[in-house]
Amino acid sequence: MSIARDVLVVEKVNKSFHDPVTVQVLKDVSLRVAPGEFVSITGKSGCGKSTLLYILSTMDTDFDGDVVIDGERTAGLGGERLAAIRNEKIGFVFQFHYLLPEFSVLRNVMLPGLKLGRKAAVEVEADAMERLRELDMADQALKMANQLSGGQKQRVAIARALINDPLIIMGDEPTGNLDKRNADTVFDIFQRIAAEHKRSLLIVTHDPDFAARTDRNIVMDDGRIVR
Amino acid sequence: MKLLLSIALTLLRAKLRQSIVAAVGVMFSITMFVALLGFMNGLNDLLDGLILNRTPHIRLFNELQASPQQPIALDQGNDSVAENRAAHHFVRSVKPKDDLPRLRNGEAIMQAMERDPRVLAVSPRLVAQVFFNVGTVDLNGQVSGIDVAQETRHYRFADHLIQGDPKDLATGSNTLVLGKGLADMMAAEIGETVQVTTATGDRAMLRVVGIFQSGIADYDKVQCYANIRTVQKLLARPGGYYTDINLKLHDLATAPAMARELAARFKVDAVDIQTANAQFETGTTVRTIISYAVGVVLLIVAGFGIYNILNMMIYEKLDTIAILKATGFNGADVRRIFLLLSMIIGLVGGISGLIGGLVLQMLIDHLPFNTAALPTITTFPVDYSARYYTIAVTFALLTTWVAGWFPARKASRVDPVEIIRGK
């Protein structure tokens, strides 16, 4: 395989919900994300874009078709291996569920790094501080997570997503709950991650401005990729 | 594991009040368990000790009985005559043989037993039936001649003396310790002299040097103690004349087997403590079972408390669980976090429960408790045995583990997608 292989390959993914009646939400979805590529997914509510994202994130395993992350097929892998893939190769940014309220900002950022266990705790802490500094949040490091504003929380969540140097960062409407100014900040951060760190980004969004500024915009409608 | 522990501790701190309530539940049950069992067993030991401490493990004696082989049975007749061989002897109304109630070769048995490595202590006894002559009234009594030093050391003789000193009985001649009931009936006090008549009609004057109370009223109305030499003199018997030899063994459990062995070896009667006092063991067992049952129920109730609180905590922490899972913690990690949480509650509650139990035990130990039956006891008895502490902590950890396991499993199965998309 070439060095510049695609970090994410999706082949003919189908998914149906069966409760209360069978509805097919994803129909033969295929896509690829190259290293360093900033991709957005847009579409109407209920078009299946979030469902697709959770399948790609390995958290949802109930689907047909193939998802290959960094050359590894996820179908048939055990929960433990999938958790390890999420930990090491995928960074997450959600719309609402930002941080663990019981922990300090710094600790929130550190947790996935400590779980990975590749570095000593002090190194993870130094990395976490570095990430926070890049995102202008270093001075908030020792605050509790629930003392921050929404925009600040989202920046901390991004720092957390970056702690293990993941291959791809996935976001489910990460700016959906933020005002224009904060949304722009988050977008700039994402762009910088793609450009400077050469990380791929796959962001589901409602915001047409946001989508327009990404490298590639995937549009979904009724479970299919239309563009 | 260290990471999971630190997460568990953080979650615990965030729900400090609920966690404390759960830990207090465990603490309370452990406290009660330890105190209850310590107190119950203290009482058990005390009540059993009433009889068992004073009872020899094996008693060797000579019971008056009919000779097992009547002389006529030895007569085989003339075997050459066929009708004699088929004959049966019928002997009716057999009486005990005329024999002294003494142990034959008492001195030799004493010496053999003193050399026996299984035996802790050997003490001879000479029991005499007497009448106390009080004015015109004769009171029935039984004087046991004892080796005072041995009885004090191994059968807690001094514990039951409410007046007087065992030394006076050991050293003085013609001295006597009266049972409380008997002393009351005779209105006898220390220093007074009482007249006794033996079964054979001999009379003697004995000086009262102590009053004895066993806790069993009927016993105290007839029982007296004297130095064994005094009783030998009273009965006009020589120095080696004993009716009983009492043995205390190193290992109580071997008593029945050893009693059979000694009976065969010395051709005497031998009764072991288990046979003589079977009912005490039954009572002890039942009381112990009841206290364990109550204690275990307490622990299980505490377990339900933990179960409830953890369940509630998991519902409140669904978001946290979902985020942990999304960022790479697997189901087993989440299960371990909540199991650790439960075990921390159990451990903290358990250890403070042990301390509480000790404090409560000491409190009970200082409560006044006076009973006529037990003259030397002034406070409630408590058994501080480490066994109850060990059992309590083991059970606490076991119940908290079980109580934590089910909620923890539930937490490990939380589907993060459902939680994250649900909002």
Of A95, A97, A102, nearest to B11 by CB-CB distance is A102
pLDDT(A79) > 60:
yes
> Mind listing the pLDDT tens digit for each residue in A110-128?
999 999 988 899 999 999 9
Q: Is residue A92 scored above 80 in pLDDT?
A: yes
User: Residue length, chain B?
Assistant: 423
Nearest-CA distance B352 → chain A (Å): 26
Q: What is the ipTM of this complex?
A: 0.90
pLDDT in the model for residue B79 = 60
Digit-coded pLDDT (tens) for A175-225: 888 888 888 888 998 998 888 888 899 999 988 888 999 999 999 998 888
Confidence (pLDDT) at A1: 41
Per-domain residue ranges of chain A? 8-225
pTM, rounded to two decimals: 0.73
- The more confidently predicted of residues B69 and A102 is A102
A9, pLDDT greater than 50: yes
Which DSSP string do the residues of B48-112 spell out, in sequence order? HHHHHTTS-SEEEE------SS-HHHH----TTSHHHHT------S-------SSPTTHHHHHHH
* CA gap B220, B182 in Å, rounded: 6
Q: CA–CA separation, A204 vs A214, rounded Å?
A: 11
d(CA B290, CA B299): 14
Q: How far off is chain A from B360, nearest CA to CA, in Å? A: 37
- Would the pLDDT of B78 be above 70? no
What residues contact B21, with CB distance under 8 A and at least 6 apart?
B305, B309
**Looking up tokens 């892998």, which residue turns up?**
A77
Calculate mean pLDDT across residues A84-101: 86
Interface of A with B (CB under 8 A): 50, 54, 57, 59-60, 79-80, 82-84, 86-88, 92, 94-97, 99-103, 107, 111-112, 114-117, 160, 164, 172
- Beta-carbon pairs below 8 A across chains A and B: 76
The full DSSP string for B285-320 is HHHHHHHHHHHHHHHHHHHHHHHHHHHHHHHHTHHH
pLDDT of residue B275: 80
Q: Are B241 and B106 in contact (CB under 8 A)?
A: yes
* CATH class label, A8-225: alpha beta
For B163-189, what is each residue's pLDDT tens digit? 888 888 888 888 999 999 999 988 888
Name the residue among B323, B331, B332 with its Cβ closest to that of A100. Answer: B323
* Residue A107 pLDDT: 92
Q: Which residues contact B86 (CB under 8 A, 6 or more apart)?
A: none
Percent above pLDDT 70 for chain A: 97
Per-domain residue ranges of chain B: 2-52+280-422, 58-70+97-273
A115 vs B319, B320, B328: nearest CB: B328
What is the arithmetic mean of pLDDT over B209-232?
A: 88
Two tokens at B144?
Answer: 């046991």
* Mean of pLDDT values over A146-168: 89
Categorize the per-residue pLDDT at B77 as very low, low, confident or very high, splitting at 50, 70 and 90.
low
- Kindly report, residue by residue over A58-70, the tens digit of the pLDDT: 888 888 999 999 9
Distance (Å, whole) CA B307 – CA B399 = 10
Measured from the Cβ of residue A68, the count of other Cβ atoms closer than 10 Å reads 17
Scanning the structure block, which residue is given the tokens 């270093």?
A138
Q: How confident is the model at residue B298 (pLDDT cuts 50, 70, 90)?
A: confident
Between B44-53, B239-248, B375-384, the lowest mean confidence (pLDDT) is in B44-53
CB-closest option in B320, B322, B328 to A87 = B328
pLDDT of the residue at A2: 45
How many helices and strands (H and E) does chain A possess? 7, 10
Average pLDDT estimate for B365-386: 82
Give the pairing of strands B137-146 and B223-227.
parallel
pLDDT digits (tens, 9 = 90+) for B107-140: 888 889 889 899 988 999 998 889 998 888 888 9
Q: How far is A135 from A150, CA to CA, in rounded Å?
A: 14
Distance CA B80, CA B183 (A): 68
CB contact under 8 A, B421 and A50: yes
Closest by Cα among B325, B319, B10, B334 to A99: B319
What does the alpha-carbon distance between residue B174 and residue B172 come to, in Å, rounded to a whole number? 7
Residue B86 has pLDDT above 70, yes or no: no
Average pLDDT, chain B: 85
Chain B residues with CB-CB distance to A101 below 8 A: 14, 320
Per-residue pLDDT band at B80 (split at 50, 70, 90): low
Nearest chain A residue to B423 by CA distance is A96
Q: At what angle do helices A121-134 and A150-162 cross, to 10 degrees?
A: 130
DSSP string, B219-231: HHTTEEEEEHHHH
Average pLDDT value for chain A: 88
For residue B104, pLDDT over 60 is answered with yes
pLDDT, position B81 = 58
Residue contact A92–B421, C-beta within 8 A: no
Is B421's CB within 8 Å of A97's CB?
A: no
pLDDT, tens only, A138-151: 898 899 988 888 88
Q: What is d(CA B336, CA B321) in angstroms, rounded to the nearest whole number?
A: 12
The pLDDT value given to residue B12: 87
d(CA A21, CA A23): 6
